[in-house]
Amino acid sequence: MSFEWNRIHKWEDNIEREVTDAVFEYIFEYYGVDELTELNGDQVAEIEEFREDLNEYSVMQIGFSNFLMQYEDAMYELEQDE
């Protein structure tokens, strides 16, 4: 029988969640905010630049990508409410 890892997607989901939570926590603490929408454009640009400078294979890439996607979604929703 060949090697297999049943339900490996559960492990991957948990790891992705942990990395994403760590990115959110660090960014919020670093900038002294409690919500995505409290960040300004310059701060988000700094975060995007930091992510671009990360090694493309860094495990943190997924956390920063998730953060930036959620930021874009939150800003879009704010614009729709105006």
Sign, Cα dihedral of 26, 31, 34, 39: negative
Q: What is the pLDDT of residues 43-62, one digit of tens each?
A: 999 999 999 999 999 999 99
pLDDT exceeds 80 at position 82? no
| Long-range contacts, 36-41 (Cβ 8 Å, 24+) | 36/70, 36/71, 36/74, 36/75, 37/74, 37/75, 37/78, 39/71
- pLDDT interval class at 80 (50, 70, 90): confident
Question: What percent of the chain clears pLDDT 70, i.e. is strictly above it?
Answer: 100
Q: What is the pLDDT of residues 16-53, one digit of tens each?
A: 999 999 999 999 999 999 999 999 999 999 999 999 99
Which residues 6+ apart lie within 8 Å of 60 measured at CB? 19, 23, 54
